[in-house]
Amino acid sequence: MTTTSPSRGLRAAIQVLFALLVPLVAGGVLDLGWSLAYWNRIYPGVRVAAVAVGGLPPDEAAQRLRTAFPYPTAATLTLVYEDHTWTVRPAELGFVVDALGTAQDAWAVGRTGPWWKRRAARWQAWWQGAEVPLRTVFSEPWALAYLQTQVAPLVERPMHEATVWLEGTQVRTRRGQPGLRLDADTTLARLRAHLQAFSSGPVEVAVQTVPPTIADPEPVARRVRAALAGPLTLSLPADDPQPAGPWVFPPEQVAPTLRVVRATDAQGRPTLDLTVDRDAWRPTLERIAADLAQTPVNARFTFDDATGQLVLLEPAVWGRRVDVEASLDALAQALAQGQRQVPLQVHYTPPPVTDDATAADLGITQLVAEHTTYFYGSSPERIHNIQVAAARFHGYLVAPGQVFSMGEVLGDVSLDNGYAESLIIYGDRTIRGVGGGVCQVSTTLFRTVFFAGYPIVERHPHAYRVLYYEQTANGSLNARWAGLDATVYVPLVDFKFRNDTPYWILMEVEVNAAARSITWRLYSTPDGREVVWDTSGLQDREDPPDPLYVENPALAKGEVKQVDWAVEGARVVVLREVYRDGTLLYRDEFVTHYRPWRAVCEYGPGTPGMPPEEPDPRHPCRPDD
C-alpha cells in the first residue's frame, strides 16, 4: 500500500494554481500595458463608416472625420415644387456631422462596462475591428425657418372666402378661392431622409390645398337682392282702430343699413348671413313710435234726460304704443330673409270707458249740478275762444276718486289748436293774446263744482275784477258773484277738483253765443250732499289809479283807443259748507284780493287834447275840448 505525504499534495496544488495564475497575471499585465499605451487614444481596429480612427486621439479623429465627410458644407441639396427650385447646402438647413461626438463614441469602445467586457471589446476591435456609426445632427427649427422664409412665400397662396358687398344698391359677389399652404411636417420628413443619406435630392416640397370654408356667395346674395328689389314698407296691423302710415323707404335708404357677416348654420357650419344695423333704424322707429303714441281716451257721451241713458258723442280711443325693440327685431328678421313688408309691433290698451258703456255701468242717473255765466260785450274772438275751450270738456267723464285737472284736458292754448287772439291779463296790463275768453269757461266750471259740493283742490282768482264774471242774465252786474272766478293758464295755473264719490261724473258744456251764455252741467248720482255758502261782499275797496295815457305810433293823429278799463280793488271772502244728512263734510274759505286796475288809453301822435289835463272819470279816454 502506497501513501502520499501532505507536503507532496500541497506542492501539487500550488503548481496547479500557479499554472492558472500565470496566464491571468500575464494577461492583466499585458492589458494594463495596452491601456496605458492608449490612455488618450482610440483603441486599434475602431472605424467610423470605414474611416479608420484607431490609435488617434479624439480631436485628431474628429478632424479626420470632418475631412472624410464634407457633405454638410460642400454638397448641395435641391428642393423642387412645380417650376420652382431651391439649391441649398445641408448646413444651411441645420444639418451637420457631429465629428467630435462621433470621435468620443469611438474612444469609448473598450472603455465602458465591466473589466471583462472592456477587455473583450478591445481584443475584438484589434482582432476583427469595431464599427462606430457616424453621428449627425438635423436642427428642424433651423430647416423650418429656411422653408418659411425662402420657400413658403413662393408656394403659398392665400385662401379667399366667398364675399358679398354692395356698391350703392348693386350687389357684388366673389366666389371663394382655395389657397395653398406649405406642408412643413411632410417636407421636413423628406428632408431628413435625404440628409441622413447624404443625398443631393431632389426633394419634393409638400404643399396642402386650403379650401374656403364658404365657397358660394349666392345664397345670401339672393336675399340681399330681394331686400333691395323695391322699397321697404313699415305698416300698422291691419285691424288698428286708428289707421296711419304706411312708412315707405327706398332701396337707397335701406342699402347702407345692411350687413353681410360670417355666421354658423344650424349644423354649426360656417356661412354668410344678412343682418341689419339696428342702431341705424332705431331713430326712425322711435320717431314713428312718438307720432303713433296714444294714451287711452274714454268715450264721450251726453245724457238723455228723457230716457236716462247715455248717447255716444265720440268713440273711445284705444291706447297705442309701438314696441321699438320688437319692431326692430321684426325689421331685421324680414330684411335678413329678403322681405320688404314689415308690420310694426304694437301694444294696445283699452280705455276704462268704451263705446258700449251704459249709464248704469257708470252710476250716472241724473243731473246733479248746473250753472250758467254770461259774457255780454265780448268780442267775436273771445266768443270763439269760449266755444273752442268749452268743446274740450263736452261729454268728458271724471272717474270716481279722480282729481280732475282742467289744464290737462284743455291742453295747449295756441293758434294751432284753433284759438284766436283776444284780450288777456298779462302782468299789470290787459293785452291782446291767444286764448282770451278761456277763463269764462274755467270760472263756469269752478262755480258748477262749487255748488255741486265736490272738494276743490286748486283754484286761482284773477288779478283784478273781471266784470264778465259778475254779469247776470239780463246783463246787469251783481257784485255777489265777485270772488267766484277761476283762471287757468296752462301749464302754470290750473283748476282742479276731486270726484269723491263712487260714481262717474259726466260733463256737458253748452255755449249759446246768441244769448252770450255758457252753461255747465254735471251728471252723476246724487249722494244727498247740500251746499251752504255766503260771501263777505266787496271789502277794503281801493279806488283805481289814475288813467295811463300811451302814445301809439300805430294809431293815426286824432285816433284814441281805450285798451284797459278802471276797476276798483277789493277783498272778498267766500265761505262754503258741504253737508250730507246733516253731517258737515267740508268747510272751504276762498279769499280773493283784487288789485285796483286803472284805465289805459292809447292815442296817435299829435292827437289834440291828449293826454287830457283833467280826465273825466266816466270817460277817461275823451280828449280835452
User: What is the DSSP track for 107-119?
Assistant: HTTTSSSSHHHHH
563 and 552 belong to one structural domain: yes
418 and 507 within one domain: yes
Give a yes or no: residue 201 inside a domain.
no
541 and 521 assigned to the same domain: no
Measured CA to CA in angstroms, residue 476 lies from 437, 471, 479, 618 at distances of 19, 6, 10, 18
Asked whether residue 421 is assigned to any structural domain, the reply reads yes
CB-CB neighbours of 175 under 10 Å: 14
Which residue matches cell numbers 312708412? 247
Q: Does 257 share its domain with 390?
A: no
Q: Is residue 108 part of a domain?
A: no
User: Residue 560 is part of a domain; what is its CATH number?
Assistant: 2.20.230
| Dist. CA 245–CA 289, nearest whole Å | 12
Rounded-to-integer distance, Cα 329 and Cα 344, Å: 10
Which DSSP state fits 619?
B
Same domain? 432 vs 517: yes
What is the predicted pLDDT for the residue at 143? 95
| pLDDT score recorded for residue 1 | 45
In a domain, 42, yes or no: no
Same domain for 615 and 503, yes or no, is no
Residue 294 belongs to a domain with what CATH number? 3.10.20.800
**Residue 331 resides in a domain:** yes
- Cα separation of 135 and 96, whole Å? 9
Q: Are residues 254 and 323 in the same domain?
A: yes
Q: Is residue 462 part of a domain?
A: yes
Helices vs strands, H then E, count in the chain = 16, 37
Looking at the structure, tell me whether residues 523 and 533 fall in a common domain. no
End-to-end CA separation in angstroms for the chain: 205
Residue 483 is assigned to a structural domain of this protein: yes
Contacts of 315 (CB under 8 A, 6+ apart): 299, 355
- Same domain for 523 and 546, yes or no, is no
Looking at the structure of the chain, the number of domains it has is: 3
| 77-81 sheet: strands from edge to edge | 84-88, 77-81, 203-204
Among 489, 505, 527, the domain-final residue is 527
pLDDT of 76 reads 94
512, 527, 542 — which closes off a domain?
527
Q: What is residue 609's predicted lDDT score, i.e. its pLDDT? A: 87
Q: What pLDDT score does 29 carry?
A: 55
Output phi, psi for 32, to 5 deg.
-65, -40
Parallel, antiparallel, or unpaired for β 203-204 and 529-535?
Answer: unpaired
The runs of H, that is alpha helices, within 112-209 are: 115-127, 140-146, 152-155, 184-196
User: Which residues sit opposite 575 in a β-bridge?
Assistant: 534, 589
Instruction: Please identify which residue in the block is written with the cell numbers 293785452.
Output: 431
Q: Could you count the other beta carbons within 10 Å of the beta carbon of residue 395?
A: 20
Domain co-membership, 625 together with 486: no
Q: What is the pLDDT of residue 464?
A: 86
Same domain, 514 and 536: no
Residues 350, 357: contact at Cβ < 8 Å? Answer: no
Strands in 35-109 per DSSP E = 46-48, 51-52, 77-81, 84-88, 95-97
pLDDT value at position 98? 92
Last residue of a domain, one of 349, 374, 401: 349
Asked if residue 274 and residue 303 are part of one domain, the reply reads yes
pLDDT average per 10 residues of sequence, the chain (625 residues): 56 57 51 71 90 91 92 94 95 93 89 85 85 92 95 95 93 94 96 93 94 92 94 93 91 95 88 93 96 95 96 95 96 94 95 96 97 90 90 97 95 71 50 66 97 97 87 91 92 94 98 95 96 95 90 91 86 96 94 90 91 84 81
Which residue range forms the structural domain that includes residue 563?
A: 529-625
Q: By 3-state DSSP, what share of the chain in percent is helix, strand and coil, each rounded to 5?
A: 30, 30, 40
Decide: pTM greater than 0.85.
no
CA–CA distance, 531 with 399 (Å, rounded to integer): 22
Name the residue with cell 479626420: 64
Q: Is residue 335 part of a domain?
A: yes
